[in-house]
Amino acid sequence: MNINKKYEKYTWKQEYETGVMFIDHFHENFMNLTNTLIDVVYNKECAEKIIMVFHRLANYIEDYLVKEEMYLQKIGFQGFMEHKAEHKAFIKEIISFQEAYEKHENICLNLLIYVDNYFKNHILSGDKKAVKMEIS
Ligand SMILES: [Fe+2]
């Protein structure tokens, strides 16, 4: 695991956009959430702020993922089932982070590694390909 990796905060760029407004809106929110988590880890504020981070992750899951799935189904994205499986894996992983936190495990850095990776590989890459209907 790349524990020593230095995390850089993101700035929203035009190249991140899918061109679908509600998707870009939630994607930018997720980027902001990733930035917050970077601050939490580097400022050692895990104990005070992890609940707020979980709350924002829950919002992303509850308010957005089903909407994105409905959209991808509507446009007939061929990789839909695999894409939906990635969402499911994300939800499962966040729940297990939450359970580990409830057992008083120090999960902040590992959560950052996971969330940062999801932002880069799912949101900036997978979602964009899906909306543009590119088969990877
Ligand atoms: Fe997605």
**pTM above 0.95?**
no
Is residue 61 included in any domain, yes or no? no
Distance 87 CA to ligand 1 centre (A): 6
The answer to whether the CB of 63 falls within 8 A of the CB of 97 is no
Distance 97 CA to ligand 1 centre (A): 20
Is residue 133 included in any domain, yes or no? yes
Q: What does R_g of the chain's alpha carbons equal in angstroms?
A: 15
Distance 57 CA to ligand 1 centre (A): 14
Is residue 5 included in any domain, yes or no? no
Is residue 43 included in any domain, yes or no? no
Distance 104 CA to ligand 1 centre (A): 30
Is residue 79 included in any domain, yes or no? yes
Write out the residues surrounding ion ligand 1, Cβ under 5 A. 127
Distance 126 CA to ligand 1 centre (A): 7
The structural domain count of the chain equals: 1
Is residue 51 included in any domain, yes or no? no
Distance 68 CA to ligand 1 centre (A): 6
pLDDT of residue 6: 82
**Residue span of the structural domain in which 84 resides:** 74-136
Is residue 114 included in any domain, yes or no? yes
Q: How far is CA 12 from CA 9, 32, 70, 133, in A?
A: 10, 9, 25, 22
Dihedral angle, C-alpha 35, 37, 39, 44, nearest 10 °:
-170
pLDDT of residue 81: 96
Tens-digit pLDDT string for the chain (136 aa): 455 578 999 999 999 999 999 999 999 999 999 999 999 999 999 999 999 999 999 999 999 999 999 999 999 999 999 999 999 999 999 999 999 999 999 999 999 999 999 999 999 999 999 998 875 5
Outline where 20-134 has alpha helix (H). 21-42, 46-60, 66-74, 80-102, 108-118, 128-131
Is residue 136 included in any domain, yes or no? yes
